[in-house]
Amino acid sequence: MTATALAAVSGIAAPVGAFAAPSGAVSAADVIRTSEKDRVSAGLKIEYEVTAEQLGMSDRDFIIVLWDKARAAGGKWEAVRRAAEDAIASTSPDDHVRFITTGIGEAREIDWKRAQEQEAADRIARTVKSQALIAVGIPSSPDLLALSDENFIRAIMQHDAATPEVKKAASRALGDKDPAVWRAFIANGAREAHDLDMQNERKELERKDREAAQRQEKRDARKSAASLFGLGLTEAMLNSDDDDFIRTLISSMSDEAKSTVNATLYEAAQKALNSSDPADWKTFIHSGAKQANQRDFDIREKKKADEDAEAARIIKAQAEKTGVRPNLVAAAEKALKGSPADVRAFLNGGRDRALRQSIQPVSSKLSGWHVRQSSVDGGDTFITPVGTKSKEADREDATWIVKDALAKAPGCYSFESVRKPGSFLSLKDSRVRITANDNSTEFRNAATWCKREGRAKGGISFESLSNKGHWLRQYKGDLYAAVQGGERGFETAKDFEQDTTWKMSTPLAG
């Protein structure tokens, strides 16, 4: 992508050649095979109005524009972003045309479907929270329903209306730190804890007045059942016959509740109402409704587990394509072979931890040597022998977090120091050092390295984004951005291919 093209996208000037095509794709980078109509239509797919200048770009450069817009949308066009990255990485003009004419539309449909599913999931979450509040006797409000699961449980625990067992159950759920446990508390745990408190009160009442305790049991059972349908118990509902009470519950259900959040509950209520045996009505009110609600929850959790697994598979597939995140691939594989809780843990923090890698020269002569930084040497970087038995500080110095490029360039990465968070492998006067991120355009470019096919077999190479044609090279143990056959000593052509080829290894500080 040219400097003018990037300026049109983001208003930031890019170094010439910053988005150069992969080796061997020079001709593809200059090809224009799509029409202005194709491009305008592609832009509209992601709610972007294409400029006149962008209509004259090569197909590949135009895809980079679309990629940047999708990336800037903060996840709204995630499938479009991934599809654009695949197209950008391709050397085939046909793939570029295919993305612009049909691929972006197909990816947009995936994003649209995901957004619709998320909206439905959010509605279900609010419904379940509302039911929990009714069950424990806390007034509902839009602010409460909008809270995250964790903060919602905390709000229940701190509310004056919460009974002792509810507070205890909420505290246990919060202490678990597992989102699935939080969802279980909201769907059933709060109600069960409240029912236990009511049961304890009835035991005390039964010692004094058995008939009053029986009346209270009826009230508590109906209140609990009604809360599952999002209803507060009225005197009319309390005094109605069992079949009329169930009929009132069914009539309150929305079409969405009948088909999604409470589908099993609806079926169980209908089955009970259709029975001519009053015992079936009573059983539904006292226990059947709760059991059906639990089955609805289990169905939702199974769907959530399937969605989590699919998200982990997508992360794994993306990581495999990059070639620079084998630790992330391994972590995803391990999680997917485990339980739903393992997948949740991977998605909720384990994924970020798995971005760690160590970097080794591909040369067999330098086995056990890794790229590391040294604060005492002014942030200089070099290669040195470091292993799993080395001191922790040394292992941290030789471990890097492989992040998407600070300069937001597709197929490029930035390497953050584990030892010094916020500092990155950066280029300064051809010497590679670790430098603190000052958020300047110059720094983001200098700290961005574009992954290329290994100049020697068995590895990968990294080209400097800020200096096209300059490669991450070790020379006599020190790290440089070097051009092959240049005038300076570290640019000697001897062993250049070997010295500029790397492999990503298991992080020494995992």
Each residue of 189-216: pLDDT tens digit? Answer: 999 999 999 999 999 998 899 999 999 9
Rounded Cα gap, residues 99 and 468, in angstroms:
27
222-261 pLDDT tens trace: 999 999 999 999 999 999 999 999 999 999 999 989 988 8
CATH fold of 357-505 reads Trefoil (Acidic Fibroblast Growth Factor, subunit A) (2.80.10)
pLDDT of residue 428: 86
How much is the average pLDDT of 103-111?
A: 97
Q: Maximum distance among all alpha carbons in the chain?
A: 100
pLDDT above 50 for 430: yes
Span 288-340, pLDDT tens digits: 999 999 999 999 999 999 999 999 999 999 999 999 999 999 999 999 999 99
Distance CA 325, CA 317 (A): 11
Identify the pLDDT of residue 14: 35
348-358 pLDDT, tens digit per residue, is 989 999 999 99
In this prediction, residues 474-489 reach a mean pLDDT of 95
Element (H, E) at 80: helix 78-89
Distance separating alpha carbons of residues 413 and 411, to the nearest angstrom: 7
d(Cα 33, Cα 246) in Å, to the nearest integer? 65
Supply φ then ψ for residue 68, to 5 degrees: -65, -40
Give the orientation angle of helix 263-274 with respect to helix 289-322, to 10 degrees.
Answer: 160
The predicted pLDDT at position 23 comes to 44
Which ranges constitute the DSSP H helices of 287-407? 289-322, 326-337, 340-345, 351-353, 392-397
Q: What angle do CA 430, 435, 439 make, to 5 degrees?
A: 105
Q: How far is it, in rounded angstroms, from Cα 113 to Cα 108?
A: 9
Report which secondary-structure segment, H or E, holds 110: helix 104-136
The string of pLDDT tens digits covering residues 357-367 is 999 999 999 99
Q: Does residue 24 have a pLDDT over 50?
A: no
Q: Name the residue among 468, 467, 476 with its Cα closest to residue 495.
A: 476
Average pLDDT of the chain?
A: 92
The burial class, CB within 10 Å (0-12 / 13-18 / 19+), for 279 is exposed
Per-residue pLDDT at 152 exceeds 70: yes
Q: What is the pLDDT of residues 40-77, one digit of tens each?
A: 999 999 999 999 999 999 999 999 999 999 999 999 99
pLDDT tens figures, 253-274: 999 899 888 999 999 999 999 9
Whole-number percent of the chain with pLDDT over 70 = 94
Instruction: Output the pLDDT for position 17.
Output: 33
d(CA 303, CA 306): 5
| Pair type for strands 431-436 and 423-428 | antiparallel
Confidence bin at 377 (pLDDT 50/70/90) = confident
CA neighbor of 448 nearest in space, from 480, 414, 421, 473: 414
Sort 260 into a burial class: Cβ within 10 Å, 0-12 / 13-18 / 19+: middle
Note the pTM of the prediction, 2 decimals.
Answer: 0.84
> Which residues touch 325 (CB under 8 Å, ≥6 apart)?
319, 354, 355, 357, 402, 504
Q: Which pLDDT belongs to residue 8?
A: 32
Q: How far is CA 456 from CA 363, 415, 510, in A?
A: 9, 22, 28
Q: Would you state the structure tokens that stand for residue 217, as one six-digit string?
A: 């049991």
Task: Spell 465-485 as b/e; 16+ CB within 10 A means b.
Answer: bbbeebbbbbbeeebbbbbbe
Query: What's the token pair of residue 21?
Result: 């095509």
Query: What does the alpha-carbon distance between residue 426 and residue 432 come to, in Å, rounded to a whole number?
Result: 6
Location of structure tokens 């329903």:
145
Determine the pLDDT at residue 3: 34
Question: What's residue 261's pLDDT?
Answer: 85
At residue 93, does pLDDT exceed 80?
yes
Q: Where are the domains of the chain?
A: 209-354, 357-505
Query: Which of 462, 474, 482, 358 has its CA nearest to residue 412?
Result: 462
pLDDT at 13 over 70: no
pLDDT-derived band at 28 (thresholds 50, 70, 90) equals low
Grouping H, G, I as helix, E, B as strand and the rest as coil, residue 446 is: helix
Backbone phi, then psi, for 463, in 5-degree steps?
-100, 135
